[in-house]
């Protein structure tokens, strides 16, 4: 069973809005974030102009050159945009700006927000594991790209599918658990607390934490963000130093596979990454983008079973996802009927979430 791939058309769709509104705003935000020299300013101008027309060729990204950004697969177009943004700010070229994360200013600011301070204060008193899982789930609502268009979204929304009992049953004496991280800051902090809980309780002997090898979708976590989150956590929580020790002795390992920034779904993952997932008792996919890549960025009928679309995945897989785009699977028919009738943008407004397990 399959469905058509999502593209940036028709006008007014969620994907169209990302390409049309979010990307130009992001270019402006990046430009304001760091004191870039004139040549980088010009490269950003060129990108701002390019995204209103045809995709220009970029080595390694030739598939859709010459086409409109709106007519090609949305996942590919977004990934290519982030790649081109990094090229524009000199991220890959030898020179002073090589390796400088253009999203670092917004990520660092988030680590110092009162909201994160409140989260940390709450975590210090909340120790039950369902609360930790819930915090990790709804932490995904805080992604900084989503906030560019949706504004502040806080607190917990409605959980449409909750297979957490099945997930906990898999997390008993697990040898290895893969956690495919999503955003830094307010999402990564509860993810790390959950990882700490799994290790401390013996629910998992080892965690493989997959992060991105380079900046992506604004707040996606890099190794540097893991380190920054651990430092912030260490200011108020003993999980911080504990996790640093776990990193030093190999119980918490960070991976940054190139495929994590690829413009494709996991159906195309390379064998070494598949082997990592296959070796895990369960892989926990965090967030919306990982979900799109797990099930395929397609116009699925929302009742399509999650088990069916993830049958290809090597090993057991769970998804903790707040819904921030048009992709939806595994939603009960009565919920779909109720939400469709409500007139709410329930698939993409970040107010709904799922915990799926296969």
Give me the residues that bind ligand F1X (CB under 6 A), please: 18, 78, 140, 143, 145-146, 182-183, 217, 287-289, 292, 324-325
Label the pairing between strands 158-162 and 282-286. Answer: unpaired
Label the pairing between strands 317-322 and 204-210. Answer: unpaired
In terms of CB distance, is 183 or 304 closer to ligand F1X? 183
Three-class SS state of 204: strand
Distance CA 148, CA 340 (A): 25
Cβ proximity of 218 and 143 under 8 Å: yes
Q: CA–CA distance from 192 to each of 196, 220, 279 (Å)?
A: 6, 14, 21
Cα–Cα–Cα angle for 200, 206, 209, rounded to 5 degrees? 105
In terms of CB distance, is 298 or 324 closer to ligand F1X? 324
Residue 349 beta carbon to ligand F1X: minimum distance, rounded to whole angstroms: 10
Residue 156 beta carbon to ligand F1X: minimum distance, rounded to whole angstroms: 15
Distance CA 69, CA 233 (A): 40
In terms of CB distance, is 145 or 263 closer to ligand F1X? 145
Residue 245 beta carbon to ligand F1X: minimum distance, rounded to whole angstroms: 29
In terms of CB distance, is 145 or 240 closer to ligand F1X? 145
Distance CA 160, CA 186 (A): 22
Residue 325 beta carbon to ligand F1X: minimum distance, rounded to whole angstroms: 3
- At how many degrees (to 10) do helices 223-234 and 104-111 cross? 20
Residue 186 beta carbon to ligand F1X: minimum distance, rounded to whole angstroms: 11
In terms of CB distance, is 237 or 293 closer to ligand F1X? 293
The H or E element that residue 254 is part of is strand 252-255
Residue 171 beta carbon to ligand F1X: minimum distance, rounded to whole angstroms: 22
In terms of CB distance, is 194 or 204 closer to ligand F1X? 194
The H or E element that residue 56 is part of is none
Name the residue with the smallest CB distance to ligand F1X.
324
Cβ proximity of 297 and 74 under 8 Å: yes
In terms of CB distance, is 139 or 240 closer to ligand F1X? 139
In terms of CB distance, is 17 or 33 closer to ligand F1X? 17
Residue 173 beta carbon to ligand F1X: minimum distance, rounded to whole angstroms: 30
Residue 191 beta carbon to ligand F1X: minimum distance, rounded to whole angstroms: 12
Any idea of the CA torsion for 8, 4, 296, 332, to the nearest 10 degrees?
110
């Amino acid at each position: 069973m399959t469905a058509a791939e999502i593209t940036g058309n028709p006008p007014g769709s969620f994907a169209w809005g990302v390409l049309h509104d979010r990307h130009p705003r992001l270019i402006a935000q990046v430009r304001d974030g760091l004191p870039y020299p004139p040549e980088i300013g010009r490269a950003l101008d060129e990108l701002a102009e390019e995204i209103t027309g045809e995709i220009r060729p970029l080595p390694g990204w030739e598939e859709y050159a010459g086409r409109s950004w709106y007519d090609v697969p949305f996942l590919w177009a977004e990934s290519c945009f982030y790649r081109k943004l990094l090229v524009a700010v000199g991220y890959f070229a030898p020179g002073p700006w090589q390796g400088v994360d253009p999203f670092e200013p917004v990520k660092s600011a988030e680590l110092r927000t009162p909201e994160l301070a409140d989260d940390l204060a709450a975590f210090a008193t909340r120790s039950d594991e369902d609360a930790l899982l819930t915090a990790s789930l709804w932490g995904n609502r805080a992604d900084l790209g989503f906030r560019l268009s949706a504004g502040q979204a806080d607190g917990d929304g409605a959980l449409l599918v909750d297979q957490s009992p099945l997930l906990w049953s898999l997390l008993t004496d697990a040898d290895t658990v893969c956690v495919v991280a999503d955003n830094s800051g307010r999402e990564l902090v509860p993810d790390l607390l959950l990882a700490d809980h799994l290790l401390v309780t013996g629910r998992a002997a080892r965690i493989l934490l997959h992060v991105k090898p380079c900046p992506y979708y604004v707040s996606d976590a890099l190794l540097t963000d893991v380190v920054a989150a651990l430092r912030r956590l260490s200011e108020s929580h003993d999980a911080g130093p504990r996790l640093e020790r776990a990193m030093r002795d190999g119980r918490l390992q960070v991976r940054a596979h190139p495929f994590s920034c690829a413009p494709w779904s996991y159906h195309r993952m390379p064998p070494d990454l598949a082997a990592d997932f296959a070796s895990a008792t369960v892989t926990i996919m965090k967030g919306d983008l990982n979900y799109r890549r797990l099930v395929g960025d397609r116009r699925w009928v929302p009742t399509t079973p999650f088990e069916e679309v993830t049958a290809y995945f090597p090993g057991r897989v769970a998804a903790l996802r707040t819904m921030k785009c048009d992709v939806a699977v595994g939603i009960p028919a009565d919920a779909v009927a109720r939400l469709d009738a409500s007139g709410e943008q329930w698939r993409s407004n970040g107010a709904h979430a799922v915990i799926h397990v296969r």
